[in-house]
Amino acid sequence: MKLKLIPHTNIDLKKWDEAVLSSSTPFVFAQSFYLNATCKNWQALVLNDYEAVMPLTEGKKLNIRYLYQPPFTPALGVFGNLNKEIVDLFLKYILENYKFIEIELNGSNETELLPLKKKSTFVIDYAKAYSFNDNTKRNIAKAKKNDVVVEEIAELKAITKYTDKVLLPWLKKEIGIPAKHAAIFKDLVHNSFQYSSLKVFAAYGPAKELLSIAYFISNGKHAVYLKGMSINKKDNLGSMHALMAHAIEFYKHKSKLFDFGGGNAPGMSSFYKGLGGTESNYHILKVNNLMWPLNKLKK
């Protein structure tokens, strides 16, 4: 088995995407159009002829090369035709070549080379039964009673307007994302739209006022809830529950997995569970072999 490091400009994107989609975890985060937005100069670590692949999301500071987890990307790691030996081969490579690593591995990347920290998301596996809880049903009924309507925003011009005027200001205020991450989000929205992978749904009140909005990206196997918000949390008409229920139904016959995109916070995990989500685990890999005093600065 032989690994090859392929610089960004030489990656065979078709073979790369085929390897990701053939994986037991065919995550949209690892597809080329997604990575091209979140980490523009990512490199490819490839086994043989793209039998297995791993994106190397490299940064550099003070002449130190390191691996980091790009924004809006819950899990990456190794994809393709995998077994424990292959996963360890990839991980040994990065451990030998990077002194600082802080990345997330997908759930199929089991290893005993070093300890991993568990992280979780919530998903709906459409092959298995799922159901909404009573609170979710009440909120959906409330939305219906209040004439809340969920519609797709299909035009890129309108999507861009809502992104710039509504979602990004909210993300900056509520989550504190930096300007460079806001720019990455805009690139991701544009790339996903051009790749025919983006869906944006909005919930409107009876006077056509915007109540909630949410962005989703899918590759036909894995659909992920990227970001979303309610305009006025105090004026709760059940719009976000209705919107999410609409999206879950929309992807039911268009994807195998609906991914809520994270949610360790108690409020969000309760929301996702109420929509039928079940916990799915993946891993955080952290390595700090920098020399003193840099190893203290990077803790």
Q: Give yes or no for residue 247 having a pLDDT over 60.
A: yes
Which segments of the chain belong to CATH 3.40.630.30? 131-276
Percentages helix, strand, coil for the chain (3-state, rounded to 5) are: 35, 30, 35
Tell me what pLDDT residue 233 has.
73
CATH superfamily, domain at 131-276: Gcn5-related N-acetyltransferase (GNAT) (3.40.630.30)
DSSP tally for the chain: helices H, then strands E: 10, 14
**What band does 292 get if pLDDT is binned at 50, 70 and 90?**
low
Distance between CA atoms of 169 and 101, rounded to whole angstroms?
31
b/e burial code for range 158-174 (CB count within 10 A of at least 16 → b): ebeebbeeebbebbeee
Tell me what pLDDT residue 106 has.
96
Tell me what pLDDT residue 160 has.
97
Tell me what pLDDT residue 299 has.
44
Which whole number is the average pLDDT over 16-34?
97
**What band does 290 get if pLDDT is binned at 50, 70 and 90?**
confident
CATH topology of domain 3-119+282-297: Aminopeptidase (3.40.630)
Please report which helix (H) or strand (E) contains residue 122, including its range. strand 117-125
Which whole number is the average pLDDT over 53-75?
94
Nearest to 262 by CA among 80, 121, 90: 121
Tell me what pLDDT residue 243 has.
98
Which 8-state DSSP code applies to residue 76? B
Residue 263 CA neighbour count, 13 Å, CB half: 24
Rounded mean pLDDT of the chain?
94
Which whole number is the average pLDDT over 1-25?
96
Global confidence as pTM? 0.94
DSSP track, 149-218? EEEE---HHHHHHHIIIIIHHHHHHHT---HHHHHHHHHHHHHHHHTT-EEEEEEE-TT--EEEEEEEEE
Cβ-contact 103, 67 below 8 angstroms: yes
Dump pLDDT digits (tens) for 132-188: 999 999 999 999 999 999 999 999 999 999 999 999 999 999 889 999 999 999 999
Q: Give yes or no for residue 246 having a pLDDT over 60.
A: yes
71 cis-preceded (ω within 30 degrees of 0): no
* Token code pair at residue 63: 């002449």
Dump pLDDT digits (tens) for 253-269: 999 999 999 766 767 89
Distance between CA atoms of 99 and 65, rounded to whole angstroms?
8
Distance between CA atoms of 233 and 28, rounded to whole angstroms?
30
End-to-end CA distance of the chain: 35
Tell me what pLDDT residue 297 has.
52
